[in-house]
Amino acid sequence: MKPIHFLFFFLIFFSKISLIKSNECVSTKNLNIGFLKNEYIDYEPYLYYELGNFASISGTSYNLELLENNNDNFDIIFGEYYDLKKFQNRNLALNDEILNFYKKNNIETFGNILPLDLDTFVILSKDNQERLSFDDLSNFFSPIQYSLGINLIPKEQFIKLITYNLKGALIQNNDINLEYLLSLYANTYENINKNIIESNFLELVESYDSYENTFTVFSDGVLLNKNMNYEYFQLFPHNKYSWSNEEGYFKQSTTESAISFFGFSAYINNEDALAFICHLIDKHTRTNTFRNFNLQISPLSEIEIEDALINIPQGYKDILIDKNKNIFEIDNYGLENYEKFLEIISNKTGITEFINTNNYLN
């Protein structure tokens, strides 16, 4: 074989290997998986379950352990998106299966963090209820139940909820809409179930199952769990009014948007470990995740449940259609002022000590 022909063959051969690698879910034989500690939701049993399934199919061995300042030691790290964002972002070459998964769900990926969960907020009730605004909820009173069951810890979860209430607007000082919102929370606090404010997710579910609350706040993924029984749900209600700086008065809000946030996600250190991600995004794995693991992991869009044979109400399909159009990240200013917000909501601090505006609410 002439040298020029050998060089041509060499280039073609190895370019095909590279192309195959980029288009297929090829797995390393030893997976080292880390996970971040989460006091609200425990993902560890779920990860063990799916790693076991993956190992039985692929012949891969694995190790799973809690991350402790050694993130470079792991092929993949799992945790909440806002925690993984604190790590250094890197470029990531994805294979076609993963690229198509995110493209179909109309989700843009950035660097080496792959979201596996997109949450918006809903309220559930065991009884049939009428649709209500946050203003209605703040005045709701039941003589036999707490009006609202809600978890206010961890702080990232609550700042997500504040951002949701403000429809994605930046949380900032001297904002009239923030003043209005915090006053509604302060009114609601009187009838909130104080026993579960610092609870984890399982304790929140137990409170709901025990009929302690008329309404309970969850992420929308609970609606797909086969053991979650409810008579009524709606998006967490938005404020009835919002302040218009242009017109100088409160206008009635007419639209409800499914403001959403990335939740459970994967941080990729090793591209050779992407086969496990391919396993997790497989439609059968995803359906099993939604139905049989009550972790609030929810679909990225309605595409994920089209062929899943899951009978869900049209109202939730509408939420899934809408929620990937309004994705936001946690507001740093909100995180910095989390304790102050809690003091205002629990009526330990007057709102005027934090927000110096005229009282537009009277």
At 309 the pLDDT is: 67
52 pLDDT band, cuts 50/70/90, is very high
Dihedral of CA atoms 306, 46, 21, 300 in degrees, nearest 10, equals: 30
Distances 348 to 140, 152, 182 between C-alpha atoms, Å:
22, 16, 13
Fold agreement (18-117+263-312, 121-257+331-353): yes
* Mean pLDDT on 145-150: 96
Kindly tell me if the per-residue pLDDT of 20 is higher than 50: no
Residue 260 in 3-state DSSP?
Answer: strand
The whole-number pLDDT of residue 10 equals 42
As a whole number, mean pLDDT of residues 2-12 equals 45
Q: What is the largest CA-CA distance in the chain?
A: 91
Which one-letter DSSP state was computed for residue 273?
A: G
Q: What pLDDT, in 10s, does the model give residues 71-94? A: 888 999 999 999 999 998 889 888
Q: What is the pLDDT of residue 110?
A: 85
Encoding tokens for residue 167?
Answer: 């429809």
Q: Give the Cα-Cα-Cα angle 66, 206, 225 (nearest 5 degrees).
A: 75
Q: What percent of the chain has pLDDT over 90?
A: 65
Domain boundaries, the chain: 18-117+263-312, 121-257+331-353
Domain 121-257+331-353 part of CATH 3.40.190: yes
Structure token pair of residue 87? 């790590």
Mean pLDDT is highest, among 120-129, 254-263, 340-349, for 120-129
> Which element (helix H / strand E) includes 71?
none
Q: What is the CATH number of domain 18-117+263-312?
A: 3.40.190.10
> What percent of the chain clears pLDDT 70, i.e. is strictly above it?
85
Higher-scoring residue by pLDDT: 333, 327: 327
Rg for the chain, CA atoms, rounded:
23
The band of 121, judged by pLDDT with boundaries at 50, 70 and 90, is very high
pLDDT at residue 341 is higher than 60? yes
| pTM above threshold 0.85 | yes
Look at residue 282 and tell me whether its pLDDT is greater than 60: yes
Q: How confident is the model at residue 311 (pLDDT cuts 50, 70, 90)?
A: confident
Q: What are phi and psi of 241, to 5 degrees?
A: -130, 155
- Is 256 buried (19+), middle (13-18) or exposed (0-12) by CB count in 10 A? middle
Sign of the CA dihedral running 122, 126, 132, 135 = negative
Mean pLDDT for 36-46 is 94
Average pLDDT, the chain: 86
Instruction: Report helix, strand and coil shares of the chain as percent, to nearest 5.
Output: 40, 15, 40
pLDDT at 358 over 70: no
pLDDT, one tens digit per residue, over 169-214 is: 767 766 788 888 999 999 999 999 999 999 999 999 999 999 999 9
